[in-house]
Structure 1
């Protein structure tokens, strides 16, 4: 598992018009090639009457699956520019389809490359880029009397609460950086006067939206 990487938060859609041609970008997360191909097929079905439905995707920890499709546009003017945007933005597990409805004015190779690249980039912004960082879940078991204090302290700290389970005792699941586990445990122990049981839970990715530049 990678310590951290970038992908899209979810589905995004954006339309731009260049020289009367409509370029509609559709973006989503795809963790397998099958998911990417299914998304492309859905967009093609939705836009069955479009002039072109060009696409690209990058999948896998090492980006070992990379595909680009010009769908009838001149070779290298659509799919590759979309793929280059994914590479430039450093996105994994992401698929982009840019649908074009021809407006009657030819753009030329350079114009097409710029148009498809711009549409892809704006679609990605609409989908929102997130950083996924691998974190240790620390499970804090406390009596209900400590919940208010612990929750308030956590919410004003650098640590994020994942979930709270209300059973005989309260268990608060918290995202903690691997190198912060000992510091976190010491802090929680001191905060509750030692009246807490802390265990390591699963390793999970925490997502944080990255503001577009």
Structure 2
């Protein structure tokens, strides 16, 4: 069981900028929810900023913030991706991708200069972002006989569960429901008392 059923992320895209000795570091902070979305956004940005020297990034995914990755994209090891990630972690954010695009100005900045540049650009982007707190939700499939419809609907209304379109197959009904993770034991306990009802966990997100 998670200690909290909330997490912090950013509401929308934001942009930061840092300049040093002719080099420009453009940081883009993006809200993301999956690895597939991250790949797509990275491809879009590489195409949009195709003339840039480097496209370094870091991302964190999931309520527990255990999924993450960094890329130095040709910069010296540890000088780009890690400083970007450090800014995400310092704010305890998740479901965030930060890409820092560097236009080289002709002067080498050295290890310390690069770390400062990628850190500063990322911090600027996050300082301009709107932070939001969201609930960690659980998704379940619930199947039950049509004769139990009233009992099921009462629980879903009582517990303020979100529900998708009902699917009917013969005398059975299937509904996809969503509720706060912290309420999972209580809600599933109530539902499992209903005759003929079956539940299948889909995801925690």
4+ residue runs of structure 1 moved beyond 6 angstroms? none
Q: In the alignment, what sits opposite 1:46?
A: 48
Q: Answer whether contact 2:8 2:131 (CA < 8 A) is retained.
A: yes
Q: Answer whether contact 2:56 2:101 (CA < 8 A) is retained.
A: yes
TM-score normalised by structure 1 residue count: 0.62
Unaligned regions of 5+ residues in structure 1, if any?
Answer: 136-197, 206-213
Task: Please show how residues 40-119 of structure 1 align to structure 2 within 5 Å.
Answer: 40-119=42-121
Please give the alpha-carbon distance, in whole angstroms, between the structure 2 residues aligned to 1:43 and 1:26.
9
Q: In the alignment, what sits opposite 1:21?
A: 23
Q: Answer whether contact 1:28 1:127 (CA < 8 A) is retained.
A: no
Please give the alpha-carbon distance, in whole angstroms, between the structure 1 residues aligned to 2:26 and 2:53.
12
Unaligned regions of 5+ residues in structure 2, if any?
Answer: 138-156, 162-178, 182-205
Please give the alpha-carbon distance, in whole angstroms, between the structure 1 residues aligned to 2:112 and 2:106.
17
Please give the alpha-carbon distance, in whole angstroms, between the structure 1 residues aligned to 2:48 and 2:80.
19
- Structure 1, 122-131 or 102-111: larger mean CA deviation: 122-131
Q: Answer whether contact 1:31 1:93 (CA < 8 A) is retained.
A: yes
SS at match of 1:96: strand
Please give the alpha-carbon distance, in whole angstroms, between the structure 2 residues aligned to 1:3 and 1:95.
22
Offset, 1:134: 6.2
Please give the alpha-carbon distance, in whole angstroms, between the structure 2 residues aligned to 1:201 and 1:16.
46
Q: Answer whether contact 2:63 2:136 (CA < 8 A) is retained.
A: no
SS at match of 1:54: strand
Q: Answer whether contact 2:59 2:98 (CA < 8 A) is retained.
A: yes
- Alpha-carbon spacing, 1:134–1:37, altered in 2? closer, same or farther (3 Å): closer
Please give the alpha-carbon distance, in whole angstroms, between the structure 1 residues aligned to 2:59 and 2:136.
23
TM-score normalised by structure 2 residue count: 0.64
Say whether 1:201 aligns with 2:160. Answer: yes
